[in-house]
Amino acid sequence: MKPNDNSWVLITGASSGFGEEFARQYAAQGKSLVLVARRLDKLETLSAQLRERFSVDVIVEQVDLSSIPAVIELHQRLRERNVVIDVLINNAGHGLQGPFLDQPLDQSLAMIDLDIASLTALTHVFAADMRARKRGHILMVASLLSFQGVKNFAVYSAAKAYVLRFSDALHRELKSDGVIVTALCPGMSDTGFAQSARQTITPALKMVMMQPQPVVAAGIRALQAGRISVVPGFGNKAMTVLTWATPRRFHQGLMARIMGA
C-alpha cells in the first residue's frame, strides 16, 4: 500500500479494548487508520478485517510506546511516508490495583512512562504538525478515576488526573490554532483492562460496567463537537457530580469501596 496525502486517524493501544473499538468505528466512517501497539499479531489480524470489511487504508506500527525515542521515530516514519495525522487517539495506557508499597517500583514507573510521558510526547509531536496546518483533533482517554485519588489505585488515578488536566489546558491553548482537544473519562468498561490490572470486580462495578461501543461513540461525538471532555454513562456522570458536591473524605471513601479497595 502506498499512503496518499489524505488525513489519517492514529490510534494507540489499538490491539484490544477501546483502541480496537476506535479502529472499528473510524473505519466504518471510511477513515484511513494508523494502528499502534506492541502486539503485532493482533494488529495485523485487526487491520486485515478492517481492510476487507470497510475498504480502508490501514498502516500497522508495532511500537513500544513506553519508549520516548520510539515515539519520535514513529512520528518521523509517518512524516517520511507523507501520512498526515488529522485525528490522534491517545488511548494506550496501563493500570494496576493494589497498595502502592506492595507494587514493585519498576511497575509503577512503567505505568508513568506509558500513561504520562508517552502521551505527552505523542501529543507534542503530532499537535505541532496540526497547529502548522491549522487543523486537527486529539482525544485523550482519561478515566473516571481522574477526578479523585483512589485507594489502591494511587499511581493510576494520579496518572489519569494528569491526562485530564493536561487535556483541559490544551483544549484552551490550541483552540485558536484550529486544534480540538477533548478528554474521554470512562468508568468501568468491559475492555479486558480489569483482568490486566488484576482488579477486583465488585457487585457495584458490575452494575455500572459499560460496553466499549457506546463509550467510544461518546468520545468520537464529543471530539467532533469540540467539547472539552465527556463522561459516558448516567451512573458515571452521577459519580462526577457527587465528587464535585461532597467532601473528599466522603467521595474518596465511597469510591474505594466501589472499586473493591
Report, as residue numbers or ranges, the catalytic residues: 156
- 189 SS3 class: strand
Q: How far apart are CA 259 and CA 261, in angstroms?
A: 6
Q: How far apart are CA 210 and CA 225, in angstroms?
A: 22
Q: Which of 153, 187, 18 is nearest to 91 (CA)?
A: 18
| DSSP secondary structure letters along 8-76 | EEEEESTTSHHHHHHHHHHHHTT-EEEEEES-HHHHHHHHHHHHHHH---EEEEE--TT-HHHHHHHHH
C-alpha cell at 183: 478528554
| DSSP secondary structure letters along 71-87 | HHHHHHHHHHTT-EEEE
What crossing angle do the helices spanning 154-175 and 105-112 adopt, rounded to 10°?
A: 10
- Answer whether 251's CB lies under 8 Å from 242's CB: yes
Q: How far is CA 106 from the centre of its chain?
A: 22
Among all chains, which residue has been given the C-alpha cell 483492562? 193
| Radius of gyration of the chain measured on its C-alpha atoms | 18
Among all chains, which residue has been given the C-alpha cell 493501544? 13
